[in-house]
Structure 1
Amino acid sequence: MTIAEIQTILNADFICGEEWRDHEVQTACGSDMMSDVLAFVKNQSVLLTGLVNPQVIRTAEMMDMVCVVFVRGKVPDSAMIALAQQREIALLSTPERMFTACGKLYAAGLGGGVKA
């Protein structure tokens, strides 16, 4: 699945990184606890979260994620956007709740990866 397909499935808006819309992604995770993402997530490409702070971008970078989707219509501030652009991480915002967004992506074939 591509980032562009995720954008379509979730009726999301690109905040930044539209130039990476054709980047392929294989897996995703949804969490508001960045400590859980760091501790339990392996080989994920997309992070879905309702948390809007710089730690989200830093966590995504450390985990080699290529895209962050903010749920519930959340939008990061300009400093977060600049950090994501520097790290080449696409940012999207969807009006969907996390449970629904994760379910839609899973139903469309995007898996969660290896079980812990």
Structure 2
Amino acid sequence: MKIREIKEILGATIWVGEEYLDQCLHAACGCDLMSDVLAFAKEKVLLLTGLINPQVIRTAEMLDIRAIVFVRGKAPTEDMIELARQKHITLLSTNEPLYIACGKLYEKGLGGGGEE
């Protein structure tokens, strides 16, 4: 699924990375514990989280996660936006809670990282 489609499905705001909206992602990972993201996420995954700190961007960089959606109306800080810009990571935010955002994306065909 393209990041552009994810933005539309979630009614999301884009903070940085508009030039990457046509990138395709193969799965989603909804999580606030970055240790779980490190353990379970794969490449080409969308990360959905309510955690707002630079460690989210650093974790995404380590796993080649190209897009992050912040849930519950949370917005990234200016430092996070600049770091994401440097690392070519798209940042979006939605007012949806994590459970609903994941459900909407799953319903439209974006599976979880563990499905083969």
Taking the aligned partners of 1:76 and 1:11, their CA distance within structure 2 comes to: 17
Q: Which runs of 5+ in 1 are unaligned?
A: none
Instruction: Give TM-score, length-normalised by structure 2.
Output: 0.95
Residue 109 of structure 1 pairs with residue 116 of structure 2: no
Instruction: Give TM-score, length-normalised by structure 1.
Output: 0.95
Equivalence for 1:59: 59
Taking the aligned partners of 1:33 and 1:114, their CA distance within structure 2 comes to: 17
Show CA shifts across 1:68-115 (max 9, x none): 000001001101000000000000000000000000000000011225
Which structure 1 residue ranges, 4+ long, deviate > 4 Å from structure 2? none
Letter in 1 for 2:6: I
Instruction: Tell me if structure 2 keeps the 8 A contact 1:29–1:46.
Output: yes
Instruction: Tell me if structure 2 keeps the 8 A contact 1:44–1:112.
Output: no
Give the stretch that moved more between structures: 36-45 or 91-100: 36-45
Instruction: Tell me if structure 1 keeps the 8 A contact 2:49–2:70.
Output: yes
Equivalence for 1:18: 18
Q: Secondary structure at the match of 1:48?
A: strand
Taking the aligned partners of 1:44 and 1:24, their CA distance within structure 2 comes to: 7
Show CA shifts across 1:17-45 (max 9, x none): 01100111111100000011112222352
Instruction: Tell me if structure 2 keeps the 8 A contact 1:34–1:59.
Output: yes
Equivalence for 1:6: 6
- Provide the alpha-carbon RMSD of the alignment: 1.0
Count of residue pairs the alignment pairs up? 115
Taking the aligned partners of 1:5 and 1:112, their CA distance within structure 2 comes to: 17
Instruction: Tell me if structure 2 keeps the 8 A contact 1:31–1:37.
Output: yes
Residues 38-57 of structure 1 correspond to what in structure 2 (within 5 A)?
38-57=38-57
Percent pairwise identity: 59
Q: Secondary structure at the match of 1:35?
A: helix
Q: What is the deviation of 1:9?
A: 0.2
Taking the aligned partners of 1:85 and 1:78, their CA distance within structure 2 comes to: 10
